[in-house]
Amino acid sequence: MPTLAWLGLGLMGNPMSKHLINAGYTVRGYDIDADACDRASAIGVKVAKTIAEAVADADVVYSMLPSGTDVHDVMTGANGVFASARKGTMVIDCSTIGIDYAKKIHTAADAKGIVFVEAPVSGGTEGARDGTLTFMLGCDPKHSSKAKEMLQPLGEYIAYVGGPGTGQAAKVVNNLIMGVSVTVNCEATALGQRLGLDMKEFFEIAIRSSADNWSLRLWNPAPNVVPEAPSSRGYAAGFKTWLLAKDLHLAIEAGAEVGADLKTAETAYKLMTEHSESGGKDLDATSLVLHLNGEKKK
């Protein structure tokens, strides 16, 4: 059985690495956060003290880190993955990092003889928990079948999109839709609450009406409408506000590169950023409703 390494054991990385352990692999993990390391250790990850220790004898390295700068540093740093892993190791990055970072990291990997695969995901912490994520692969086509095989325990739909940057392009477009949906779901919830609607009853109407959408069903912003939604547990993330703002910004940047004017994304990004900077950064993004209602953030 190949030995695996997992870097970034947060809300997504923790349950994703668990599926690999359940599939029988040994997983060595690394995270800069001590609590994340403790939680990972509790599910069977063999926690390492450094990136080098985690990846030294790994056949495949996975990463699930916040942003492009984090992934770039972890991969290309002096004691990072590319300096520490064996030549020929496959590195599958599942983070959402944008097209330019993905291309830059592919080039750096090629120079070191590392096989880099971008594999951003959709499906949220629920999909990570259930092993039902959708993956969007961008890499040299000759590596796509091994990457798919190594992601099988984590996903329901694993799509090969194309060469470097294309997986992140698909993810950026997906999250433009999702990010704007979450934002408008929060605006609609604030309006419904102010109009005195019973939001549980409204939910039953909306999911049978033209307002229905994926994030409204899973991540309903009104508390105690969907028992498993972050709003029903004090807006604990879920999908952190700052990460959603990051993804909307990636869409705006990608739009600027190709001359696509994304006015709706700009408004959603502005609202998410305001909320993030006024105390909502690490709360679930649906806590934007608190900001819109002028309520205190927990």
To the nearest whole angstrom, how small is the minimum distance from the Cβ of residue 123 to ligand NAD? 7
> Can residue 11 be called a binding residue for ligand NAD (CB under 6 A)?
yes
Residue 170 in contact with ligand NAD, rule: CB under 6 A = no
Select the residue whose beta carbon is closest to ligand NAD and give its number.
10
Query: Does residue 12 belong to the site contacting ligand NAD (CB under 6 A)?
Result: yes
Query: Token pair for residue 297?
Result: 């953030």
Q: Which stretch binds ligand NAD (CB under 6 A): 3-11, 108-116, 182-190, 195-203?
A: 3-11
Q: What is the DSSP letter of 277?
A: I
Half-sphere exposure of 132 (CA within 13 A, CB side): 7
Q: Please, what is the minimum distance in Å from the beta carbon of residue 8 to ligand NAD?
A: 4
- Residue 118 near residue 68 (C-beta atoms within 8 A): no
**Nearest alpha carbon to residue 108 among 73, 59, 138:** 73
How far apart are CB 22 and ligand NAD at their closest, in Å? 19
Please, which of residues 22-61 interact with ligand NAD by CB under 6 A?
30-33, 36
Touching ligand NAD, residues 82-101 (CB under 6 A): 95-96
Residues in contact with ligand NAD, counted by CB under 6 A, come to a total of: 27
- Measured from the CB of residue 30, what is the shortest distance to ligand NAD in angstroms? 6
- Does residue number 284 form part of the binding site for ligand NAD (CB under 6 A)? no
Q: What are phi and psi of 292, to 5 degrees?
A: -65, -30
| Tokens 């709360």, residue located | 283
Q: State the nearest-atom distance from the C-beta of 171 to ligand NAD, in Å.
A: 8
10 counts as binding ligand NAD under rule CB under 6 A: yes
Q: Looking at beta carbons only, is 65 or 150 nearer to ligand NAD?
A: 65
Q: Is 118 in the site for ligand NAD (CB under 6 A)?
A: no
Closer residue to ligand NAD, CB minimum distance, 51 or 202: 51
Question: Would you give the distance in Å from CA 160 to the centre of its chain?
Answer: 18
**Residue choice 4, 7, 268, 289 for contact with ligand NAD (CB under 6 A):** 7
Residues 62-81 binding ligand NAD (CB under 6 A) are 64-66, 70, 73-74
Beta-carbon contacts of residue 277 (< 8 Å; ≥ 6 apart):
none
Question: b/e for 107-132, b at 16 or more Cβ within 10 A?
Answer: ebbeebebbbbbbbbbbbbebbbebe
Element (H, E) at 121: strand 121-122
Q: Which residues sit at the interface with ligand NAD, rule CB under 6 A?
A: 7-13, 30-33, 36, 64-66, 70, 73-74, 95-96, 121-122, 124-125, 239, 243, 247
